[in-house]
A and B are shown apart, each in its own frame.
Chain A
Amino acid sequence: MTARSIRVLAAATLAAALTISAAACSNPGSGTAGNKAAKGTVVVGIAYEPESLSPLLGYGKDGNSKIFDGLLAVDGEMKLRPALASALPEVSKDGLTYTYKLRQGVKFSDGKPFGAKDVVFTYRTILDKKTNNASKTELDAVKDIKATGDDTVVFTLKYPYAPFAERTVVPIAPEHIAAGQDVNTGDFTTKPIGTGPYVLTGWSKGEKISFKANPGYWGGAPKVKKFTMAIIKDDDVRATRLRSGDLDGAILPPNLAKGFRGENGRKTYAATTYDYRTVTLPTHNKVAGDTAVRRALDVAVDRETMVDKILEGAGKPAYGPVPTDSEWFAEGTERTHDIARAKKILDDAGWKPGKDGIRVKDGVRATFPLWYLSGDKLRQEHALAYASDAKKAGIDIRTEAGTWEVIEPRMKDDAVLAGGGAPGDPDFDQYLLLKSSLGGDGFNNMAWYDNKAVDTALEKGRKSGTKAVRKAAYDTVQRELVKNPGYTFLTHIDHLYVVGDHWDGLSTQVEPHDHGLASGPWWNVEDWTPKK
């Protein structure tokens, strides 16, 4: 390039930059969400796309799937209510038989009637070995399901499983369509047909999923006639498209949701969740496996500050998988941040500070690695804060980032910043996290936690049908966790949504760890009514 052409290039770049910055001063287009409400359409931005829309492969397993209904559903207070069943199930005395009477006159959106054979087909297919359903363990208790007459189905269980009714929110697939094709790759996985309030009209993968109201819905035709979920993985793009009026609502991280606070015509909804962040303390690690170290870390960590600084207030301190505002939480198991106490616990156990301030016992330095999922900013911040709190008590935690492929083989010995949480029954999280026989089983009991008292209480809790007995059992589990914490639970995270204020009837449910399609204020979009 000659000097002359460089000069020309520089001038051209400068001119372009000036044009662009001049344009940047102009106002972005204002929203048009109001007109959309009048027409009965809602467009929301979500960060997650399902792999499949087939309930047989796990879609909508926690209920509330828009296209489908389960036998039961959960309401705003997380109480079970009948959906395709006409009433809550009858449970036999020994807790081994669940009998469901079915709602009459329900039709699939293709006009064919729904019946007991569809229920039997759905559950049998999910439990079939050939079906690639990664959540089928949740139905592990089922021994058999059969139809007795066209309006009754009976589940027989292998062992008494108190929370079983909660598992029957699984959406029901039509046998006459799904039975004739490959369950893993057939048309039904992308073009589902169900009994639900909405009918799928299009799924452009990676772009959006569109629904229209099902006029023949047994619960009454929804007022929101068209419902679109735009799949936008990037948080900033989602926020921008919400601002430009392209979206009526979206899920946003706390820092971006803050930008919409107090804005006219938009409301922010914070959904409380069971979504926890925790540090696994593997029993096989010489340092993290020591009960004194675990107890010290449990009180050394400053949960309140994590909630304030990392979550910008949108969350709660966590002391176990059960959130503090749940009816299953054991009162009095809260641990306050107390560095002095942490130091005393370590001193008493023989962990003496070394030259560099890091404690040593029998030649073992109090240090272990803590892995977090690379790219997950929230986990990274939790991990760094945890390591810094631990340092103050004389424990050196080295944080390292990696993908699950890197982390998984190390889970037995190294600590991991894990997340999870399923609302509903206290059995769901606690059993998988704490049962000693599940140590090292996939991602269950990642810490290889092993505590006889907890094992017994977990079994008692899942088998008893009496609520008082169950409450006592889970109280025992939570109190045992104070004496010997296998994990340091850090926070429960609120999920934030910003939605245009054009409809009545919006609320949020208690949400699980993963952001399913039905999470967010649109969990009951079928019940929304236009604002007058």
Chain B
Amino acid sequence: MARMTGRRALLAAPVLLVVTFGVFAVAAASPFDPVKAYTGTAGLTASQENLDQIRANLGVDQPLVTRWWNWLTAAVSGDFGDSSVMRQPVADVIAERIGWSALLAATAFAVAILLGTVLGVLAARRRGGWLDRCVSSAAYTLEAAPAFWLGLLAIWFFALKLDVLPAGGLTDTASDVVTAGQVASHLVLPAAVLGISQLPWFFLYVRQGVADALDEDPVRGARARGLAERTVLLGHALRSGMLPMLTLIGSRVPELITGALLVETVFSWPGIAAATVQAATSVDFPLLAALTVLATAAVLLGNLLSDLLYGLADPRVGFDG
């Protein structure tokens, strides 16, 4: 187990290297001009000399490889550079926002896993029953629905029509004190939308896993011995039915990140997503690269986590290698 973790960590370094270079290359090839993005409307009346000076100050006049290498060597020593679009050090931008993104993603993940498991078990118990049919069809529909669309729908319904939940932001518009209560009420909609957009996968996997397990001999034997339905369902069927879901937890991480991106934008949640979008459209190399490293690391960690969990839950699988 330790060996697998070590090996994966070693592999992570070249992967991250390639990914950051990819980000620099793609950003450099994009038609957006970093200087234009930096200067905004003021750039439309600025003299060419002034714009050239800013280009030099930002260091975006250097060739792609030089820029990447400078960034990389600084990053290794802990200096992630300055974000041009936020006018702040990259580390500050990330530190200010990542907590809110983590809160949102964790809540959504919890919603998806809990709700997915409960509904999955209930549906598997009476396959073809009304609950199974309703939830399954809803799950297929949700899978096709993009998260931002769900978000807009939720705002329209809960914030505009019913006026029961805030439409966006971290706190009320007129207040600039961040209190737990306000954050909680502002968290409900985005977390629910993000969680529900992830729900179908967990639900369908658990439903299938538990349903298959219910048909297997050990479970039928347990039933035959007259064990209580609850013990059979949770003790026997769910345990083996959960296995595929453990893999899923890891592989859903990238989906969760992209989903969070859209949901944060829709709900003006001050997380890392808005910063990512801005960094991308403004060709803000240092910020974009740092955020990509973070996202890649999250995906690699997610995969490692699910493999470890799987190995622990089912000794036959073992740890790779």
A and B co-occur in one complex: yes
- Measuring CB to CB, which residues of chain A are less than 8 angstroms from any residue of chain B? 1, 4-6, 8-9, 12, 20, 23-24, 26, 28-29, 36, 41, 43, 51-52, 54, 57-58, 61, 129-130, 132, 134-137, 140, 182, 184-185, 189-190, 201-202, 204-208, 210, 226, 228, 230, 237, 240-241, 244, 246-247, 403-406, 420, 422, 432, 438, 441-444, 513-514
A441 and B48 contact, Cβ closer than 8 Å, known pairs A4-B133, A12-B134, A514-B41: yes
Residues in chain B near residue A237, CB distance under 8 A? 167
B160–A207 contact, CB under 8 A?
A: no
B interface residues, Cβ below 8 angstroms from A? 31-33, 36, 38-48, 50-51, 53-54, 57-58, 82-83, 85-89, 130, 133-134, 136-138, 140-141, 157, 160-163, 167-170, 173-174, 176, 268, 270, 274-275, 278
Contact A185 B89 (CB under 8 A): yes
Per a CB cutoff under 8 Å, which of B137, B162, B268 touches A9? B137
On chain A, the residues within 8 Å of B42 by CB distance are: 58, 61, 134-135
Contact B137 A230 (CB under 8 A): no
Q: Complex Cα distance A26/B31, Å?
A: 47
B41 pairs with A20, CB closer than 8 A: no
Q: Using A5-B136, A405-B31 as known contacts, say yes or no to A190 and B88 having CB atoms under 8 A apart.
A: yes
Chain B residues with CB under 8 Å of A422's CB are 45
B53: chain A residues at CB < 8 Å are 129
With a CB–CB cut-off of 8 A, which chain B residues contact A41?
Answer: 174
Q: What is the CA–CA distance of A432 and B36 in the complex, to the nearest angstrom?
A: 18
In whole angstroms, what is the CA distance A32 to B47 when docked? 47
The contact of A185 among B50, B82, B174, B278, by CB within 8 Å, is B82
* B170 in contact with A204 (CB, 8 Å): yes
B46/A130 in contact, CB under 8 A: no
Whether A136 and B157, one on each chain, are in contact in the complex, defined by CB atoms closer than 8 angstroms, is no
Contact of B274 with A205 in the complex, beta carbons under 8 Å: yes
Give the residue of B44, B174, B274 whose beta carbon is less than 8 angstroms from that of A206. Answer: B274
Q: Is the CB of A404 within 8 A of B87?
A: no
Given contacts A23-B161, A206-B270, contact A432 B45 (CB under 8 A): yes
Instruction: Name the distance in Å between B177's Cβ and chain A's nearest Cβ.
Output: 9
Residue of A nearest to B57 (CB): A132
16 A-B interface contacts by CB (under 8 A): A4-B133, A5-B137, A26-B162, A51-B38, A58-B42, A129-B57, A132-B57, A184-B82, A189-B88, A201-B176, A204-B176, A205-B270, A241-B167, A244-B160, A404-B36, A444-B47
A442 touches B137 (CB 8 A): no
A87 CB, min distance to chain B CBs, angstroms:
30
A228 touches B173 (CB 8 A): yes
In the assembled complex, which residues on chain A have CB atoms less than 8 Å from the CB atom of B173?
43, 208, 228, 230, 241, 246-247
The CB with the most chain B CB atoms within 10 A, among A61, A403, A422, is that of: A403
* Cβ contacts under 8 Å, B169 to chain A: 204, 207-208, 230
Q: Which residues of A contact B275 (CB under 8 A)?
A: 205
Q: Measured between alpha carbons, how far is A305 from B32 in the docked complex, in Å?
A: 36
Smallest Cβ-Cβ distance to B40: which chain A residue: A51
B282 to chain A, nearest CB (A): 9
Chain A residues contacting B43 (CB-CB under 8 Å) are 134, 442-443
Residues of B with C-beta under 8 A to A404:
36
A210 to B133, CA, bound (A): 50
- What residues of chain A lie closer than 8 Å to B50, measured between beta carbons? 134, 136-137, 442
Chain B residues with CB under 8 Å of A403's CB are 31
Residues of B within 8 A of A438 (CB): 47
Report A-chain residues with C-beta under 8 Å of the C-beta of B134. Answer: 8, 12
User: Chain A contacts of B89 at CB under 8 A?
Assistant: 185
